[in-house]
Structure formats: structure tokens, C-alpha cells
Amino acid sequence: MIEIKNIYKSFDKLKVLTGASIRVEPHQVVVVLGPSGSGKTTMLRCINFLERADSGELTVGDMTIDFAKVKKKEIHEIRKKVGFVFQNYNLFANKTALQNVMHGLVVVKKMPKEQARKKAEDALAWVRLSDKLNYYPSQLSGGQQQRVGIARAIALEPEIILFDEPTSALDPELIEETLEVMKNVAKQGITMLVVTHELSFAQDIADKVIFMDGGVVVEEGTPEEIFNNPKEERTKQFLSRIIAAKSFDAGKDKFAGESLCQEK
């Protein structure tokens, strides 16, 4: 279980988070939507202390801390309980795919090397990368790198995995393979908090959808409630904009296809 209460964060004068609160139950998949600049990514990074929130309360499992007066040791404890998948993968550039997954197990979890290797191999097999164990990140495609990133997060068996726009840096044809893996993660019953623009993922997989704007949670509910019956004006606007953009893309493809046919 993870819960944030009243989180505030500003960068100099720019107020990014102004009292957002969210709660994720065990085995739940929660998707956070919102326009850019709404503070979703910042909130995610605050949970893992990659960014220091100014105030608020964070509960991860049985640990509750106050953002304003958190100690170094507590930060370390929380990071061990929370996995993170980055938008731009951030694999360790000096380590192979296998070492990327293994390293945390050996150094952080103090697992014996052989056992860690076995576990890392399993995790990579699970994201269908068994044939790339000894490849360095620079030799892998974006989608493959992101799958290694996901394997690295699951292998550590955290209480929750945070996904920060995991498909935003990927080419359209690579998005599918990554989403497929994320769906499998969800099916395993791993608690997930996902920031994404992939509405289809939210629709199919999420137990709860949170819509954020202006640093606060505007609306939350089941995917059906949010997508079919949004109550807030801002949610409606956001969804209609995204859906319009998507159908425009789809229409463009169709149009291009038709004109090709005509030429023939």
C-alpha cells in the first residue's frame, strides 16, 4: 500500500504540486493522467526522492514519513521498497542487460551471485530478452532497453513499481511490446503506479484512473467512470483533446492508405 497526503513541491517560484493526495492499494494498478506540467511526473519522482517534496506525508507499506523532515536512512529504506521505471530507460551504461538486472540484487539485496544471476535470467526471460543477456544498452533498441528496465525493477521485488511515462520516448511500433510487458506485470498482481498518455492501457488494465491538473488531483475513479462519464469540466476537455488527436492520427493513416490505393 502506498499513500501520499497533501504533497507540496515548488521549483523556485513555480508551484508544481499543491496538495495532491493519492492512495494505491496492494495489487492495484493506478494510472495517472493529465496534461503536461500538471505535476504527475514530479509526484512520482517525489515518492522515490529523486525530487525532494517540500511538505506532505508519505506511507509505503508500514513506513510513514513526513517529507519536510525525512532522514537519509528513511529515504534509503523507501527506495528499497519502491521500484522505478524511467521514461528514458536509464540503464547502467557500463553494464550488460544481465548485469543491469543482477547488480541491485547483489549489492542492495546482498544475494549470492549465482542465485542473483538465476533470478536476473528469469526476469529477462520474462520480458522475452533471453537472447540479449550479454548485450550492452548501447546495442539494444529503445523497446528492448525499456524491457530491461522493467526486468530490473521487478527482479528486486519492490512493494510497488512506479512507471514514469515508460513509452513516451519510444517509436510507435516499439510501444506495443513494452505495453505488452507492462500488462503482464499487472497480471502478476504487482502494485503499479503508472504515469502515461496511453489511454488504451488505462482503459484495459487500470483499476483506478487519477486525473491531475495544476498540481492537484482533479478527479479519480474507475476507467469507466473517468472515460465514459467524467464529472469535472477539465477532465472532459483533456479527454476530448487526446481522443481528437488520436482519431486525427488514425484518420491521417487511413487517408494516406486510400490515396496509395488510388494511385495503383
Partner 1 sequence: MCVKVNGLFCRCPVICVVLGMLAALVRTYRLPVISKVLDVFMALCKAFPANLILLICIMIYTYKFNDFAAFFHLDVNIRDVNLIYIAILGLTIVSLSGISEVLRSGLIAIPKGQFEAGYAVGMTAFQTFRDIIFPQMFRVVIPPLTNSILSLLKITALVNVMGVSDILKSATDAATESYAFLEAYVAAALVFWVLGIIIERISKMLEKYFAKSVKQIA
Please report whether residue 104 would count as binding partner 1 according to CB under 8 A: yes
| Smallest distance, partner 1 to C-beta of residue 123, A | 13
Of 93 and 260, which has the nearer Cβ to partner 1? 93
CA distance 96 to 120: 12
The set of cell numbers assigned to 121 is 535470467
Q: Is residue 88 near partner 1 by the rule CB under 8 A?
A: yes
Q: Render 82-120 in DSSP notation, one character per residue.
A: EEEE-TT----TTS-HHHHHHHHHHHTS---HHHHHHHH
Site string for partner 1, 25-54 (x = CB under 8 A): -----------------------xxx----
Decide: is 166 part of the binding site for partner 1 (CB under 8 A): no
Interface with partner 1 (CB under 8 A), residue from 108, 125, 245, 256: 108
* Contacting residue, 1, 21, 128, 136, with partner 1 by CB under 8 A: 136
From CA 191, how far away is CA 183, in angstroms rounded? 12
Q: Is 14 helix (H, G, I), strand (E, B) or coil?
A: strand
d(CA 199, CA 166): 13
User: Given candidates 23, 80, 118, 128, which one binds partner 1 under the rule CB under 8 A?
Assistant: 80
Assign residue 139 a region (left: φ > 0; alpha: ψ between -120 and 50; beta: otherwise): alpha
Instruction: Name the residues that contact partner 1, by CB under 8 A.
Output: 48-50, 76, 79-80, 82-84, 86, 88, 90-96, 103-104, 107-108, 136-139, 152, 156
